[in-house]
Structure formats: C-alpha cells, structure tokens
Structure 1
Amino acid sequence: MSKTLPIADLLPQRSANTSTPTENLANPCESLAGQGNGAKQGATESSNAPGKRSATTNPFLGLDDVVALTAIPARTLRHGAKNGKYPGAEKRPGNGGDSWFIPLRALPAEAQARYMVQQARAMAPAAPAPRLSEDEREAFWGRVKTATQKCADRAEKALLVLLFFFEQLANGTCKMDVYAAIKEKFNVSRATLMRWQEAVDGLDKSDWLPALVPDFSGRTNRPPAEWPGDSWRFFCQKAGTPGRGVKRALDETAREASRQGWGSLPSLTTARNHWRDNVSDAVKAELRGDKKALKALMPTVCRDYAAFALHECWSMDARHVDVQVSPGVGIMGIKGRSHRPWFYAIIDFRSRYVVGYAFGWELNTDLVRAALRNAFETTGRVIPQRAQMDNGREVTAKEITGGTDWRLRGKVKDGEIIGILPLLGVAVDFATPANGQSKPVERLFGTLAGIEPGFREAYLGNNPQARPEEHDPACFVTAEELVSAYREEIVRYHNTPHRGDAMNGRTPLQVYNELMRAPGFVPRRMTESQYRWTALSAKAVRLSKNGTFELYGHRYWSNETAAAPKGDFGYYAMYHPEDFSAPVSLYRKNKLIAENIQQQHRASGKNKEDARLIAKKKNDFKRSVKAQAKALKDYEVTIPVAPEASREVEEAMKALPVANVTALVPSVVEMPRQKTAAEEAEAARIEAALKKMEAENFERTRARFAALQEPKKRASGV
C-alpha cells in the first residue's frame, strides 16, 4: 500500500498558467515521490521532467509509484517498458540518470482504481486539528521546560521556518521556489522541512513548539543524572568549603556513599556541571563564608540625588596620593624624608561640587579640620545639615565627632568632648565599612587619580604590582606642583558636564549656582565666634589641686580653674594647635568653665626678676583668697530695714543698665566671646559704679542699724 500524503504537500504548487483546464495544478506524483522514494533512485524516478506537464486524467508515474500501486518489481517494470509492454512509457533524464515514466492508463485497471481512491482521499477537506486536554497539553509542554538550551533553540528555529513556509504558500508562491528560499535563507533542506511538517501534523499551531523539540537519545537531552540519598547535600557541603575543589568534594562524597550505602554517584563532569548550574553564586558565597562576594551579589539601591537639597549633606573622605613628593620642599612633609601625601576632600551631595579640600603629611584630625575650614571659607561659612564620612580614626576622633554615637565608641558619655561638627549642629552619618560605592566622594577620587600617571618617574601606582617600571626612587615632584595639578583638575571637574543622577548633563558649578540662587533657599551660616572655634583642638585634661592643667608639657592656670571642682569631672581644653602661647578655654561637656586661661611660663628662679614674678603671682592669689574669706566672715544676718531704706535701695538699683534681648544662633557648646575695647571700658565703668553703690548702701544700712541700736544701748546703761 502507498503512503498517505501529508496535507501540506497537497497545497497548490503553481500559481501561473491556470487558464488551460488540462494542465496539472497539483502534481500528486511529485508529492508521492517525495515521501516514498528509495535511497538509490531518489527524486530522479519520482517526478515529471522539468518543463513538461501531463494531463490530469493520464499522469506519468515514476517507477517507485508504479511499484506501490501494482506490487510489480522495478526491474520487471523497466524490462516491460523497454519491450513496449506499457504504451506511452518514456525515458527521461534526471539527476541520478535516465529513468522510466509510465502513463497511468497503461497500468492495469486495478492499479488505476487504487490511484484514484488515494487521490480522492488526499484531496478531501482536512479534518480540524484535535486539541489536547489541559493535562495532556501541560505534559506536552514539559518537553520545552526539560529541554536543553540547544534543543530549545532548534525547536524555535524549526517553528520559524514552518511559519515562513506556510505563509509563502498562502501568498501563492510556488512550492519549489519556497523550498529554494528556505534553503538559502535558513540553510534547511527539503527533507528536514518535510520531517518538521510530519511532526506538527494534526496539531494546533499553538502546540507546534513542543512537537519540534528534538528527542535525542544521546547525552544532550537525556534526563538529568540523579544523586542517590543525601549525597547531593553532602557534596554541596564539601564543595562549599573554602579552598576545596569539586573533585575532592566528589571523592569524599563517594567514600561517604560507600559507608552509607547510597549507591553510585554521577561522574566528575556531571558533578561539576550540577555544581555550576544548580547552585547559585550567592549560595556558594554563603557556604564559603565569603561576605564580600555575597555583598557584591546583593541587589543595589540607586540613590535619588534629586531628593537632597544643596548643603543638606556633605560627603567626606581621604585618599593617599600615588605620587612621591620631594623631601622637605613645599607646604607639607618632613625635612629630609620623601613621602606620599594625603588628600582630604569634601563634596556636596546634590551638586557634586568640591566645597573643600586639604593636603597633609599624615591622615589625622588636623587634616580633617583644615579641609572643613577650607569648605567653610569656600561656601561663605555655610553649615551643612548632615555630614557623611567613613570610619577612620581621623574623623571618629572626639575633636571632630565627639558627642555623637559611634559603633566602636558606644553611646555618648557624660562629660565627653564636643567635636566641631556636633558643635555646629551637624548630624554625623558614618558610612558602612568597606562600602566605597555609598560615598559620592569616591567617584571624585577616580577622576583625580587620572592625572597622577602624568608625573612619570614619580608615579608610584596604587599598589606595588601596579608600579610602573619607569619609576625612579630618586625622582620627586614638589608639593607646589602636586597641589597646582590637583587644583587645575578640580576646576576642570567643576566645569565638565556630569552624567550622574539629577545632574541632567549640567556641570557641578552650574548646579551649585542655580541652587544657591533658587528662590526661598536660605543656607545656615555660622557666627564669627563659631568660625574661630573650628580652628581649635580639644584635649581632655585633669585639674590638679591648685587648679593647673597641662597640654603637651605646657601648664595653664587661672583663678576660675583654681575655684573649679578638682578631680575627674570630664574637663577638656580648647587650644590652638599651632600656638600654645594663645589663651585656652576650659569646658566640661558643653558648659564653659573658664576662658582666656594664660600659659604659665616656667622660671629658673636664679635671678631676682624670676623671684619677684613668682612672689607676685603668689601674693595676688593670696589677696584674692583673703578677700573672698573676709566677705564670708563679715557677713551678718540682715535686719529688716525701714521703708525709707528700701526706697533708697530701689532708687540705687534703677541705675543698673538693662540688657537688650537679641536673637542669637544657638550653639551646642557655650561659646567664649571676645570683647571689644569699648565693651571692656563700659564693663569697667559699670563695675566701678556697682562697687561704689555697694559701699554707699552698706554705709547707709550700717548707720541706720546703729541708730536703731542706740536706744537699746542707753536703756541697758552701756
């Protein structure tokens, strides 16, 4: 029996020359030959010769089709056609040589009837494609889920080719031309295309993709290897140990499987593939305890810079410059010693503008203070609301951030030094350790680092492995050259369009100026006394019995310190780090205890002048103490004074000046104030007037009291 023809092969092949009713519009012999040809003869004996057309009622059939209809061997058919047994039979050339073609009417009547029945069945309307049930469809589509990527790609390509094939046929293109186009465009042969048609025959188009998934019997699409028992978990535990490879983990798993009786394990290649494909990098990092790798795989959150106002937050950090600076030349460094200076920078979050920076030989609080004062000078003494910084000792020192909580310092203690930033009311945000991407200032360092290789032999590289071969240890640059290069690069950075968030292609300088001039924007500014205070350093001190304290070998004393409580009361002194001869102030937490405390110079005591100076200081101290003691000894209980005396006191009190109330910027710490010459003269005048009034009031009160006591004395006969 012959093979039933696919529906796709019965579609019209030719769209031209349809005016002659006797022309063959669909050559069934061509389709039959395409599916039933033998390997030797192929299409050469199963299709009409090119350029010839047979009548629909008497088509020429190839030997393969005649063999299928008559069950006569091909050798017998060739011999009969050669001897004229089949009238009209002719020999036609083909790709495999000449082949015999026999007209249908030359065949027996039974064969002709069989041929007509086959053609009638093939030309009947196609039955609608049966639809799969939901369970069958889910199982059918499971082929796509379990297929390898290579098999899935092949199925998608086959679906694309089939859709292209039927689309071209629907447009009236000749089938042979479509085959040729598919071969040229997709490199798919006609046999492969027909195999794909058979695979989707009878299915809805929505279910073609799983039907086209290749079903290889080899390793590519075979079911995955199974791990018996708990061997997979044991293997993952061993493979996740730091420094242990997959092979070692598989060997240990095999020994454990032998003891536990789990069974045979997959091969080493399969184990490597499963460890690579089935265990995510995040789980591997967690198994190995690699917090840094796990952190790099965590989802990130983009900072919305548009939510920040100008000067709302400053980002601060330091960078070790990768350039060797000449010894003892310039504005920094130690004489006779070459070094790599530190660069400390402060930028504004919103505008990315570099508001302040400083260079220094050491990364310490003095460098941070210098950068902060430079930022205050650049911005016109603007105070930010917040400051973001790392966890270095230079910023966690109490001189800078004292009075704020820190993870390694604990909560704020009573009597703790108040740093510069808390003094100004700046909230301190410590960045996450080892998390450079959270600080915008780190991006600035990447820009500035680009100028350092230009110093050639003096460039050190950011690590020993990156140090260039041309580096010369005897080559230096001056500090002035380094600072000048950095300053020029910062100016260039300020005038370069920025691609960051909320910058919209504008330069940091443009954004800074626009926001500063925005209507309603009022930045916080510091007072003159606060600005002077930022230049001072702080150090905890302890008062001795006589009220003196030391700062780096220098002794300080005043009457106020002598009267202050002694012991560990949390005192700290504010001093000028570059001038120890300048007066200092003594604080306890945020309360000013004494100001303008002078340094006590040391004396040798070998001459008269030193002895006189020492004696004078002692006598001044004794005189002050005696005056205070006398005031306490002479105190008497006050007897009610007559109404006339009360009115006199009230009149005298009216002479005291009344202070004008002013609105001042609140400070966390009580600020010492420098008085002008006019203010000091006025204070001296008022003090003298008060002393005079006190003396007069005292004399009047004493005389009134004596007058009241006089009758009592006479009555007692005294």
Structure 2
Amino acid sequence: MKEWFTAADLAARALPGLPATDRGVQSLAQREAWGDRKNMAGGALARKRAGRGGGVEYHYTLLPAAAQAKIMIDLAPEKAKKSAARDETSTAAAWAFYESLPDARKEKTIARLAIIEEVNGLYRGGLTKNLAVVTVGKRHGVTPATIYNWFGLIAGVARADWLPALAPRHTGRTKTAACDEAAWEMVKSDYLRAERPTFESCYRRLKSAAAAHGWAVPSSRALERRMEREIAAPVKILARRGVDTLKAMYPAQQRDRSVFHALEAVNADGHKWDVWVKWPDEDKPMRPMMVAIQDLYSGMFLGWRIDKSENRESVRLAIGDVVEVYGIPGHIYLDNGRGFAAKWLTGGIPNRYRFKVKDEEPVGILTQLGVEVHWTNPYSGQSKPIERAFRDFCNDIAKHPAFAGAWTGNTPLNKPENYGSKAIPIDDFVRVVAEGIDEHNTRTGRRATVCNGRSFVQTFAPSYVTAPIKKATEEQKRLWLLAAEGITAARRDGGLTLMGNRYWGDFLHGHRGQKLVVRFDPDNLHDGLHVYRLDGSYLGFADVIEDTGFNDAAAARDHGRTRRAFIKNTKVLLDQHVKLTGREIAAGLPTPENLPPLESKVVRMAAQPGYEPLMKRPNGPEPVTLSPDEEAEAARIIAEMNGEDAPGAEIVALPVSPGQRPDFKTDEDYAHWVLDNPELADEADRARVGELMNNPSFRLLMGAEAQEKSRHA
C-alpha cells in the first residue's frame, strides 16, 4: 500500500479532516511541523520527493485518524478489512493474556509503560530521543537497549493497547518429561473410573505394564501434574462421582416466585416418613407415605394425604382438598421421577380395596379443570421448593418427642440405638403431623423474598384475597372423589354398604337390586356417598347410617321419628297420585247392559232346497242301539230314582227370612252387610270389619261411602 503523499495528492483525495487545496495542506503541514516529526523508531515522517519537480512527501501517519482510515480503505479495501479484523483479534488476545498474568508480572508491565511515557515526555520537551532514553534508563536502572526493545514492542500499536503489548512474554520452564502415548492413555482410563481408585494405585499398575511393554514413563508427580493440567475438574467429577455430583458444580438457578400470586401455581410431591407407623389392618409396622401440595408463591402447605404407599388415589384426594377449600390452581408442578410418576400413572397397590376402583387418570382430571401440568426433574429443590420443606419435616416432625422409639433413621447406616422399639398408631401419627404442618405454615421469620419476615400463612392470605381465584363447582369437586364400581343396592330398602358402613337416600328405592357407581373419600367415609348409574349419570347423595347402641333410647326415638316422617311423606305422595276410589273406578267400567251388541264376523250361507253335500261328515260317534232287555233295565232304574223312596226326597228347602244372616262369598260382601245392617251384626262382626277397614287397599275397595259408615259405626 502507498504510504507517502505530496500535499497535492492529499488535497486531490478530499480526505476528511484535511483542506481540499494544495496550499491549504501545505499551511497545515507548516503549522503542525510535519517536517520535524519522527516515528517511535526515530525515522523522519517527511522526506524530499524523488524525481522531476522535487517537493516534499508526507507519511500518511501524520494525518488525522479519519484521513488515515480513508486512505487505507481506498488503496487496499480488502487488505484493510482483513487487517482491521486481525488487529481486533490480536487486541482482544493481548488483553486476555494480560488479564491472565499474576499481579507481580502486571506490576512489571505497568513499570515499563511508566518508563516509556517518561522518555516520550523528555522527547517532547526538546531532548533527543537517545538522550531521553539514556537519562531515564540511569534513573530506573534499565539499560538503553532494554528501553529500545520496549519501544519495538509497541511500534505500530495503538496507544490504548501499549499496556498488554509491554507485558512480559516469558513463560518459564515448559519442558515436559517424555511419556509414551499408550502409557498416558492407560493411566487416564484407569484413574477416570466410577470406583475412584487413588492415583498412586493407578501409577503402580502403569509401571507394571510399562515394564512389560517397554514404555517410557515419567515420575508419578509429573503424570499427576499433567493430569491436573490437561483434564478439567468437571471431567474428573463426572467420571469418578457421577452426574448428580457434576450437577452440583453448576450454579443453581435462582427463581423468583414473586411473579405468581397465591394459588396461581402449586407443586406436589411425595415424602416417605422415617417413622414406624401401625395400621389396624396390618400385622407389621410400615413407613407411611405423604402426598403434599404447596403454594409456590408463599410456600404454604395447602393440602396433604397420608397413605401406605405413593398412589394416584392419594394424589387425587390431596389435590381435591386444595380445590375444594381454596380453588383451582392455574399451574401444577409434579415430579417426573420414577418413584412418583409411575405410581401416578399405575395407581400403586392394585388390590388396596375389596372392590373395583374406576380407572381415572388424575392428569386427565386436571386438564378438564384447565390446570396446566408441568413435569419437573426428580429430587430437584430448584424445580420444586416443596423438597426443601420436606427436609425441615425430617427434623421438626419425624424426630418429634411423640415419635421417640419409632424413628427409623434417614439411612440404613444411621439407625438410632432404640431402632424398632416402638410403632405409632396411625391416628396419633396423623394428629402430630397435622400439628407440625400447621406450625410450619404459621412460623414467622421466613427469609424468602415474598415473605420478608412473615409466616407462610401471613404471606398467602393478602394475595389470596385480592387474586382472581377460580372456584370449583359442586360437580367439579366430585371429580376428585374415588369412584367404586359395581356396588349393589339392597333389594329390600335400596341401601348401600361400603367398607363396613351403610348409606341410604330415598332416591335409592327406584334402584333396589341394581349395580351402581359411588364416589367417596376413603378418609372421610362418614361424609356420605355420591351415587351414579353405571353409565355415569348422577342420581343423588346418600347419607351414612350410623350404628347405635342396643339400649340407646334417644337414638331409637330419633329413628322412629324419621321413619314415621318417611311413611307420612309417602302417604302424601300416594294421595297425590290416587284421585279415584274403587267404586268410582268400578263405575267407569262398562256393564253388560251398556255393552254394545256383538256382531257376528263369520256368516254361514243357507243351503238351497234339494242341496246335498258331496260328503256327509258326522259330528260325533254313531248312537248305540240298546237291546229290549237293556231298555227295560234302564227304565226300572230311572223309576227307582224318581220314586218316593229315593234319597233326598224328604229334604225340603226352607225360604230365607229377610232378617236372617246370609252366606258371604267375599270379605267385601261381609263388610257391606255388617255396615248396612248394624242391628243384626254383633260386637265380633264390628271388630272384624274394623280390622279390615284398617287396610288401605280394603278401604279403597269399599269406597268412600263405606268408609264414612265405618267411621260412624
């Protein structure tokens, strides 16, 4: 690239920051003494022009920066672009190298720059450059050759980048001991194993193999330093301690939960308690499993259920508690680990109940309610703050004095001295856990950003009052209850029996003996059942029927009162349906006199005189012809039967008087006679008719007139 220009050349190029005429450029050169200017190496920046005409040429570095850039772009655009890119890269690399230096070497670099600035100051003050270098060198104990070497380091370098350019470049001893490549690969592979062998044991095995293969192997310390230098610490952690330990080396994400409001987002997870608990139906104690729901905004626990295992029934019921008490959350974060998600999808214990539980996925129910489900990493406290709270429970609740002797220890190697000496009844365990969770929610002094010293409850309440909360309808609340299929209603009264409890509602009379579906809460069986047909249509709510003591008179009176009310209401319903008496019904029936005459549908044609059928068909057997003796014997027998000595000839039928009791074919005839003839009926007749009239069906048969006579009899 051309570097020297005359005043006329510079004026013709119309460079920024320069006059546009030859005379103007010459005047600028005189004012700024371009003819006396020298570069850092002492070379002149103005020279006589060779060739005809003479004149003076100036180096382009005398020009303003904008003019220099314009000349570089015009004369060598591609080269200038590449040079600028190289300069930018080299500048960044120089500063990166300077930053990597220890403080002692940085101080040496700063001292070099101070000496350079001092030399330039004396040079600008009028001393020659050589005299300035010698003077400053004597003052600081540095030879002139060293100072000139430093000037060589910054030659052509921008003033802003002199500091990294002057940095010492010596790196010390870099020679490494010889090591066969196969030996190096062997010791690396041996050391980077999950069994975590010591480096000394790996080196001993390497020495043994090197002797057999003739490998050149340096000392143990030399190989260990090389391993520290060439293999990054995260690689060692991954190989020797696994992914989980490697994750801990990466900074945790700090999540701001203040972006939510109360109940906008919740997280759920399961926690297995380190306490032996005794269930009434189990021979051996078990460690209970709790499914809990926590509000992400405040950290408050909103709902929880305890069961023998982690199953989707307990998950459904725990979320159902939150929906019923507080409302429907917008988001829910669930553990995607095998221990939680698999039980969520499969239901855990298949034979927990002695009836078929309807297969309903909780995730599907959440989707129906518009809740967005998020699956998080298992055992991730950053993803689910509830796991941090579970660690508090391990200390504050699991080690409660009420559980002394029942604590199992948090690992098999951390069992207490009194391990297995006691098991807590499930009712007592649930009570202590409830008290502990309540204390956890109401404890003040919380240091979370949204809490600011308040308790979780105090943080949750103000936001909950002002937040747009979606409440569940009664139909939506029932979605969370467990659905038991194939429960048969009793044939006598329609009652239902579930898990030893009896339930009844008057609507069940229409479904006696039928198989039904019931929804229930297994932890609150006395709350009653919601009853459905097998096709899913809702029937009604059945209350629980409590068992009472044999000698409980008050309970007997209550039961009798409710039964009488049931009978009375049923009678009212019957009266609403039955509008006609038996006589009115009978009066509406057609009588023989009122019946229309029957019309013959089959007509037999009359035979014409002299007509003879082709074939006579006898209607019966041919009559038998008696002999004369047989006819005489028959006549004698007939005469004896009709004679005066015949049996029954003396029996005379007496007429019945009007006041005599007739024979009755039915109870209805008997009752009508007694009511119509009270003077002929005795006390027994009236008592008998009274018993008959107590029957509603008999009263309906007798009619209103007979009922009126019975009341006045």
Larger Rg: 2
**Scaled by the length of structure 2, what TM-score is found?**
0.45
**Scaled by the length of structure 1, what TM-score is found?**
0.45
